[in-house]
């Protein structure tokens, strides 16, 4: 149910979608007052800063943090295994 609003934001929804599926950007709260929105720092997708969207952004950002940590840990383990061989 996403579509453009007059300000270029997508309509209110419970799911935040990036502009493209491969985007790994973080959601940021931008603007002030009534003009606050949530914007991806890589693909520039934007949504109104409703409470639901803010919680969804926080959840997705935390998941991204954990995935980056796991990726770094896996890369380190691969390097260690390679050096031991």
Q: Residue 69's pLDDT is what?
A: 93
Q: Say if residues 65 and 72 touch (Cβ distance below 8 Å).
A: no
Regarding predicted confidence, which is higher, 68 or 3?
Answer: 68
Average pLDDT over residues 6-15: 51
Give the DSSP H/E element, type plus range, for residue 66.
helix 51-84
Which tokens belong to 74? 């896996």
Residue range of the domain that includes 30: 1-85
Q: Say if residues 15 and 28 touch (Cβ distance below 8 Å).
A: no
Q: Residue 34's pLDDT is what?
A: 83
Q: Residue 3's pLDDT is what?
A: 39
Write the burial class of residue 38 (CB in 10 Å: 0-12 exposed, 13-18 middle, 19+ buried).
buried
User: What are 11-70's pLDDT values in tens digits?
Assistant: 544 589 999 989 989 999 999 988 899 999 999 999 999 999 999 999 999 998 999 999
Q: Say if residues 49 and 36 touch (Cβ distance below 8 Å).
A: yes
């Amino acid at each position: 149910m996403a579509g453009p609003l007059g300000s270029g934001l997508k309509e209110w929804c419970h799911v935040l979608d990036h502009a493209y599926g491969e985007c790994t950007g973080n959601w940021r709260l931008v603007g002030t007052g009534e003009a606050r929105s949530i914007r991806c720092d890589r693909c520039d997708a934007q949504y109104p800063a409703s409470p639901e969207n803010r919680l969804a952004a926080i959840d997705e950002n935390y998941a991204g943090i954990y995935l980056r940590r796991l990726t770094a840990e896996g890369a380190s383990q691969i390097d260690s295994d390679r050096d031991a061989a």
